Amino acid sequence: MEKQRKSGHLVLVMVPFQGHITPMLQLATILHSKGFSITIVHPELNSPNPSDHPEIAFVSIQDKLTKSQFSLKDVASLTLILNRNCAAPLQQCITNILHSYDHIAAVVYDTLMFCAQTIADNLSLPGITLRTCSATTLLLFPVFPQLDEKDFISEIESPELQVLELERFRALLSQNPTEAVMESRFAFTNAVRSSSAIIVNSMEFLEQEALSKVKQYFPAPIFTIGPIHKLAPKVYSSLLTEDDKCISWLDKQSPESVIYVSFGSIASIDKQELIEVAWGLANSKQPFLWVVRPDSVRGLDWNEPLQNGFQESVGERGCIVKWTPQKEVLAHISVGGFWSHGGWNSTIESICEGVPMICKPFFGDQHLNSSYICKVWKIGLELHELERGNIERTIRRLMVDMEGNEIRTRAMDLKEKAALSLMERGSSSCSLHDLTNQISSV
Ligand code: UDX
């Protein structure tokens, strides 16, 4: 057990998904650098490796998740099961930590682990929620159940939010939600409403209009402290092994010539889609670095069906790996475009390196992020159908055509703004400063 440090002791509660583990570990590292001692409580599944983070104490709690439950594609049901299974052990665990340290400055939990807020309330501790997706996603749940269509549309009158077509997302979310989905949304919203502070891995300038709406719906102060990976650049958090050979392959390519393709840690495609992606990449004639995760092609072993002349056609022009050091890849001079599923972490990482994007959203907030990227910030192109001709054309529009140059210029502008937000008086630095002050003052 590490001694309590001068700013106080914090308990961070993690959920076992890659896109959530990374920002939570980064936040832990940042808060540790601000003088807090930290314990991370996490489910057994996808446990982080403590030896990668010697400054942090880790405690694992029983999640009782079965393999089939974890492979559920319905994130709401999985989240609900996780919260039900973890609530009692989490309460016990935080009580034990409280006995050991005498004082806990705050319980900081991933918004998906909403049971932590009730536990914090039970123990009279401040609960702070970390939203690892965009701030705009916070508008979806509290607003939707309460307002009818007319009210909702007049509520969302700002130009940026109109471009985003939030009503369309509302309609999607309202389509026959299961009981698990309703219960999850209700608990999620209640937790965020009861929290003492909301931390978001975003930047003021990215979601300005949405943030002002969010502030109307939630009483707690909101701290946009992103891009948090730039504040904690050395945190290792990959659940899969990063294949470094892609970096030596990138070293051999021309500047800004490579299209990097990755659909994050959860999305999957079927065999025919894999073949379409492969031939779309091959026919684009651009060099490509493509992540095909071991479990990402439904019903098949890794890239098994990529025969029939594919390798011969692309030769050294293509590099396929199971997992990359993505932040390093995006910062590499050879990478000129990122074809992504539009996960929030990937979006923020791409913005920080000024890499323009192609977006093929699969589920959930990825559609909203894709609308931001392509319609609001205009730093990417949308790709709807996974069909080889369509893929080839979209890649060439981004990487070769004039249209791509304009998109690249806007992406570079956003990169500069992101860097500014981290400077001494930048919005994210100030937000982080205010956050640590608030925690220390309670
Ligand atoms: C999930 C949801 O799917 C997404 O919609 C939500 O916004 C966040 O949680 P995920 O699908 O994993 O996330 O995507 P993303 O948010 O982009 O996170 C993936 C992370 O894995 C990124 O930090 C990325 O750098 C990392 N990664 C991905 C690698 O390090 N190597 C890879 O090869 C691929």
Q: Whose CA is nearest to atom 28 of ligand 1?
A: 264
- pLDDT for the residue numbered 149: 53
Backbone φ/ψ region at 227: left (φ over 0), alpha (ψ -120 to 50), beta = beta
Tens digits of per-residue pLDDT, 203-259? 999 999 999 989 988 989 999 999 999 999 889 999 999 999 999 999 999 999 999
Mutate to test the pocket of ligand 1, among 346, 351, 362, 370 (most ligand atoms within 8 A of CB): 346
Indicate if ligand 1 lies below 6 Å from the C-beta of 364. yes
Mean pLDDT of 25-45: 97
Indicate if ligand 1 lies below 6 Å from the C-beta of 323. yes
Give yes or no for residue 151 having a pLDDT over 70.
no
Contact 371, 389 (CB under 8 A): no
Atom of ligand 1 at shortest range from CA of 291: 33
More confidently predicted of 305 and 423 = 423
Indicate if ligand 1 lies below 6 Å from the C-beta of 201. no
Tens digits of per-residue pLDDT, 266-313? 999 999 999 999 999 999 999 999 999 998 999 887 767 787 789 899
ipTM above 0.90, yes or no: yes
What domains, with CATH codes, occur in the chain? 9-227+423-441 (3.40.50.2000), 245-420 (3.40.50.2000)
**Burial bucket for residue 68 (CB in 10 Å: 0-12, 13-18, 19+):** exposed
What are the strands of the beta sheet with 318-321, ordered from one edge?
Answer: 318-321, 288-291, 258-262, 335-340, 357-359, 380-382
Beta strands 36-43 and 380-382 are: unpaired
**Burial bucket for residue 23 (CB in 10 Å: 0-12, 13-18, 19+):** buried
- pLDDT for the residue numbered 307: 76
Q: Using the mean position of ligand 1's atoms as its centre, give its distance from the Cα of residue 24 in Å.
A: 13
Tokens of 351: 């913005």
Atom of ligand 1 at shortest range from CA of 324: 33
- In DSSP notation, 111-152 reads TT-THHHHHHHHTT--EEEEE-S-TTHHHHHHHTTTS-HHHH
Indicate if ligand 1 lies below 6 Å from the C-beta of 19. yes
Tell me which of 165-169, 270-274, 314-318, 326-330 is least confident.
165-169
Q: Whose CA is nearest to atom 1 of ligand 1?
A: 19
Beta strands 197-200 and 222-224 are: parallel
Residue 395's Cβ-side half-sphere holds a number of Cα atoms within 13 Å equal to 30
* Residue 189 per-residue DSSP state: H
Closest CA to 109 of 234, 199, 232: 199
- In DSSP notation, 160-186 reads HHHHHTHHHHHHHHHSS--HHHHHHHH
Residues paired with 63 in a beta bridge? none
Indicate if ligand 1 lies below 6 Å from the C-beta of 177. no
Tens digits of per-residue pLDDT, 167-181? 777 777 777 788 888
Mutate to test the pocket of ligand 1, among 22, 345, 370 (most ligand atoms within 8 A of CB): 345
Q: Whose CA is nearest to atom 25 of ligand 1?
A: 326
